[in-house]
Amino acid sequence: MSQPPDLAADLSVQQRAYIALYALRLGTASRADILASHCLTEADLQAHQGGWEELLAHHADRQRQMPRPDADSCRLVNCCEG
């Protein structure tokens, strides 16, 4: 029987770091286990922490509900009347 493919070999350090940071956020495994399973070091996580936080902020901003304009501000103006 063949071994399953090593997915970490196909991913960049940045991609593996983002996955590991997400796993750490979920808290389903210990930090040491997550680092080992993604072939990462603490230095790898530190190097990509800022980018990960930017992604989280961007995602949170996209999930934010936009305010709905009131009815008065939505009136159509006929620009051809003159």
> pLDDT tens per residue, the chain (82 residues)?
444 456 667 899 999 999 999 999 999 899 999 999 999 999 999 999 999 999 888 877 666 666 666 655 555 555 555 5
pLDDT of residue 9: 73
pLDDT of residue 7: 60
pLDDT of residue 75: 56
What is the SS3 string spanning the chain?
CCCCCCHHHHCCHHHHHHHHHHHHHHCCCCHHHHHHHCCCCHHHHHHHHHHHHHHHHHHHHHHCCCCCCCHHHHCCCCCCCC
pLDDT of residue 2: 43
